[in-house]
Amino acid sequence: MIDERKEIKNRLERIKDRLNEEYKQKNKGVKKSAREDKRKWYNMMAEDAEKAAENVRSKELYNITKILTGERKRQHTGVKSKEGELKSERNDILNRWVEHFSEVLNRPDPLHLISEEDVDMAEIIIDEIDLGEWTVAEV
């Protein structure tokens, strides 16, 4: 009985070691792939910068340089509250969006439901409307 427990314990340890080794190998592969992808992205951005410099597109070159150097600032836009106050903090913005969508999406059911007869009548009325020619002022 004791030998069986030792055997089971040894078997579990071997399985655990094998799984840890597989994990290490996969982890190395993922990290290597991430490094390769990052290197490809940098090379692509460098090529774009060279093309922009050759074609004298200074704004594009400037933007690419800012991205590569990490100096580009993220632009956070604010959201107005119901009272018209500008909220710029992340939690305030998220709370305002929650409030907005809860109002928009949680409405009561309409009092008068549309029946198939109403839809048929609406189609007849729409067909009878004469659109005529459009004028420049309308456009």
The mean predicted confidence, pLDDT, of the chain is 85
Structure confidence by residue, pLDDT tens digits, 123-132: 777 777 777 7
What is the maximum span of the chain, computed from C-alpha positions, in angstroms?
A: 96
Q: Is the pLDDT of residue 74 over 70?
A: no
Structure confidence by residue, pLDDT tens digits, 30-73: 999 999 999 999 999 999 999 999 998 899 999 898 888 887 66
Helices (H) and strands (E) in the chain, counts: 4, 2
What are the residue boundaries of the structural domains of the chain, listed by start? Answer: 2-69, 75-107
* Contact between residue 97 and residue 79 where contact means Cβ atoms under 8 Å apart: yes
Q: What is the pTM of this model?
A: 0.43
Angle of CA points 122, 126, 132, to nearest 5°: 170
pLDDT of residue 1: 66
